[in-house]
Structure 1
Amino acid sequence: MFTFPGSKEDEVVWLPVDEFADGTIEVRARGRDVLQGSLAGIVFHGADKSYDNIYARSFNFVAADPVRKSHAVQHAFVPEFDWQRLRKERNGVYESSIENTLESADWFNCPL
């Protein structure tokens, strides 16, 4: 899901891909330094109302609080395993920090 500049709501860009079996998806994204207000990532394996997503909470890239920093990147399968359920039932398994020197508003690569 992406929030486009000037947009106040999350938006999803669906690419018209009919076949994709094996390979790599690489996304270059950038968030903002807005606490709880900037998520950047990719939605994939979309079918009906379910999908996988991997996204970054860029405002947590350089957080001083180690707990917040550990929530910088998230993988979820919506709606069954959303981030709230995964954090409650599998804390630390589907979230991670970013071990580099990215600032909150830097561009970053996300290969899948």
Structure 2
Amino acid sequence: MKTIRFLFVFLISTGVLIAQQNEIIPDLTKVNDTTLWNLDDRDIINTTPVHLSKGEGDGILWLKSLSFENGTIDLDIKGRDVRGQSFVGMAFHGLNRNNFELVYFRPFNFKSPEKKGNSVQYVSLPEFTWQKLRQEHPAVYENEPNPTLDPNDWFHATIVVNHPTVQVYINNSDEPSLEVEQLSKRRSGWIGLLVGSNSEGEFKNLRVTKE
């Protein structure tokens, strides 16, 4: 009995709850705890949900207490319908603020007839930026959302990492909105909530299932 009580206290103190085997639910109310999380180039406006402030360049809130390799990342995301100022997503296999893989969304393109195909994006930094991928591999590493989304609403993202493939599902659809081959040689690292240049964003219900 004492062992069970000790384990429960330990999990609470690390900001992680394990719902079942290999399923981890980070405690987002603890994002201000710098022993668990590391925030780069943003402020935390709120914790329920997590609201990252607007700023120049990318801002990332890294979960330091979890190393992720293969598995599934689920979360709810809310951006803004402001052209060129709403880039929100999930980084993984992070080494530092300049080295990570990323799936992110451009909500302002969700309903655009001309730009809908640029709504869901995979990149691997620092080498494979969105500019390089769009120029050299058009329509391979970005796609339109399935189903179509309201750019001002919350949406659910499921990112399935199963080396060497990354699949992105939206709102529990049976069909992926994006499926790509990974470009990074790194196989594990941090995960992090990301807002891009001139962007703010909100996040909740983060759940990680490790394989």
Instruction: Please tell me the TM-score bracket, short chain as reference.
Output: 0.7 to 0.9
Q: Deviations over 1:12-47 (max 9, x none)?
A: 000023433332111211110000100110111112
CA 1:23–1:6: 2 relative to 1, 3 Å: closer
Residue 60 of structure 1 and its aligned partner are, at CA, apart by 0.3
Counterpart residue identity of residue 79, structure 1: P
The equivalent residue for 2:86 is: 38
Helix, strand or coil: the match of 2:131?
helix
Q: Which runs of 4+ in 1 moved over 4 A?
A: 3-6
The equivalent residue for 2:129 is: 82
- Distance (whole Å) between structure 1 residues aligned to residue 81 and residue 66 of structure 2: 35
Residue 61 of structure 1 and its aligned partner are, at CA, apart by 0.3
Helix, strand or coil: the match of 1:87?
helix
The equivalent residue for 2:65 is: 17
Structure with the bigger percentage of strand: 2
Q: What's the TM-score once normalised by structure 2's chain length?
A: 0.48
Helix, strand or coil: the match of 1:70?
helix
Query: Relative contact order (alpha carbons < 8 A, sep ≥ 6): 1 or 2 greater?
Result: 2
Deviates more, 1:95-104 or 1:73-82: 95-104
Please, what is the CA RMSD of the aligned residues? 2.0
Aligned residues: 109
Determine which of 78, 85, 103 is the counterpart of 1:54: 103
Contact 2:102/2:123 (<8 A) preserved:
yes
The equivalent residue for 1:94 is: 141
Identical residues among aligned pairs (%): 38
- Distance (whole Å) between structure 1 residues aligned to residue 130 and residue 81 of structure 2: 20
- Distance (whole Å) between structure 2 residues aligned to residue 70 and residue 105 of structure 1: 18
Unaligned runs of 5+ in 2: 1-39, 43-50, 160-211
Q: What's the TM-score once normalised by structure 1's chain length?
A: 0.86
Q: Deviations over 1:21-80 (max 9, x none)?
A: 332111211110000100110111112431101100000000022xx1100010000110
Counterpart residue identity of residue 19, structure 1: S
The equivalent residue for 2:27 is: none
